Amino acid sequence: MVVPLIVAADLAWLRWFLIGGRRSLFGLQPMALDLGIVPTLSVLAMVGHLIASRRGRGRPFLVGAAISGSVALIAYAARCLTMPETIDHSLRSISPAFSGWSGAGPFRRFLAPLGDAIFLNAGPFDLWEITWVAALLCLPQALIALAGGLLASWLRRPGARGGKADPSQDVAEPS
């Protein structure tokens, strides 16, 4: 039940972002920087739902990923607020490489009908460009969340901190 709600909220945001509002939901300039926040928020909402649905018995990986992903999202938002020109310049400099990539043809053909359905032919929006920008902006946050989840799993593992894996195997040393 939660996943369809999150996907519906994301699609509604995307339509408003590109058609209705034509401005950033978070006050960021350029408004494309929102593409690094909304997908990460959606994933964190789903992870939070998984943790809550387990009634406090969250897996260490999920808890670690949620915490480190939240920290990464806050760092990204702070970076967007303090130095938006740097991110915008970087995106504009690599845009010709992604937009002109010859391998993008199959992706564009797949995304074109989806884009028409989402935007209802309301404008010249290239869903391929929106997709690669969102993926590029979310990749560092996703890697940090993954690393946090793996670290939490590793720290939770018996014997991970230099101790013995099974305390019952402790043998008293002769004195």
Distance CA 64, CA 46 (A): 14
Domain, as residue range, for 60: 2-156
Question: Which residues, 6 or more positions from 166, have their beta carbon under 8 angstroms from its beta carbon?
Answer: 158
Asked, for residue 18, whether it belongs to a domain, the answer is: yes
Asked whether 152 and 61 are in contact (CB, 8 A), the reply is yes
Residue 169 lies in a domain: no
Question: Which residues have CB under 8 Å from 119's CB, separation 6+?
Answer: 15, 18, 19, 125
> What is the three-class DSSP state of 56?
coil
Q: Which residue has the tokens 């590029």?
A: 136
101 located within any domain: yes
The tens digit of pLDDT for each residue in 123-143 reads 555 666 777 788 888 899 999
**Of 14-23, 35-44, 49-58, 96-105, highest mean pLDDT:** 35-44
**Cα dihedral: 80, 84, 89, 91 (round 10):** 30
Rounded to whole angstroms, how far apart are CA atoms 29 and 48? 29
Do residues 128 and 111 touch, judged by C-beta distance below 8 A?
Answer: yes
pTM of the complete model: 0.72
Please indicate, yes or no, if residue 74 is contained in any of the structural domains.
yes
The tens digit of pLDDT for each residue in 34-74 reads 888 888 888 998 888 888 887 766 688 999 999 999 999 99
What is the number of structural domains in the chain? Answer: 1
In a domain, 163, yes or no: no
Neighbours of 65 (CB within 10 A): 26
Is 40 inside any structural domain? yes
